[in-house]
Amino acid sequence: MSLPITQLLDDVRGGDRAALDRLFALVYGELKGLAHRQLEHAGPRRYIDTTAVVHEVYLKFAAAEDPAWEHRRHFYRVAARAMRQVIVDQARRHRAQKREGRYERLDLDETAVGIEDDAGELLALDDALVKLAAQDARLAHVIELRFFAGLSVEDTARALDVSERTVKRDWRIARAFLHRDLGYPG
């Protein structure tokens, strides 16, 4: 019998490092789904797989001295952001390798998707999201959860503890900001 996620989060915050392993085992499938949705939205061609993304997130979480997940929803928000960082870091590495003439293909599993020519677009989007977060963190969270994590309006509202109407408004405002910042017409 596995402990509920909330109890495992409390255990991790309390210093039980083994609870992190139990937590990841419990939510592994959900995290892979989240990673897959993020990779789909990134639209890349260079291979990185969902398993690698989830494992990188685990390593980030394991290295954290004091995980401060407040609750289950917060854990998933932090996981979504960490996945975005992993994907963007991969795009940066790919771009650097390409400039140095050291391009190599990584084909890690059947759920792989890629980051190649879209790396520049992905990096520009990440830069725009950083600017947006500096102006309004909730707007950036809405983009992360709706676009990268693929959550519905209802799920995003629950994750952010706001109304669906607020999510819809924030989604419109955030998209307009990103379109303007990225130089898209209209």
**Token output for 171:** 């989604």
Domains in the chain, number: 1
The dihedral of CA 131, 176, 136, 69: what is its sign? negative
Over the chain, what is the mean pLDDT? 79
Are the CB atoms for 133 and 177 separated by under 8 Å? no
User: Structure pTM?
Assistant: 0.63
Domain of 30, in residue numbers: 5-182
pLDDT in tens, 30-48: 888 888 887 776 654 445 7
Q: Which of these ranges, 15-19, 41-45, 111-115, has the smallest mean pLDDT?
A: 111-115
* Residues written for the chain: 186
For residues 174 and 53, what is the distance between their CA atoms, to the nearest angstrom? 26
Give bridge partners of residue 113 from the DSSP assignment.
Answer: 48
Which of 141, 97, 94 lies closest to 113 in space, CA to CA? 94
pLDDT in tens, 48-89: 788 888 888 898 888 888 787 878 888 888 888 888 888 888
pLDDT value for 132: 92
Confidence of residue 111 (pLDDT cuts 50, 70, 90): very low
Residue type, 58: Y
Are the CB atoms for 49 and 94 separated by under 8 Å? no
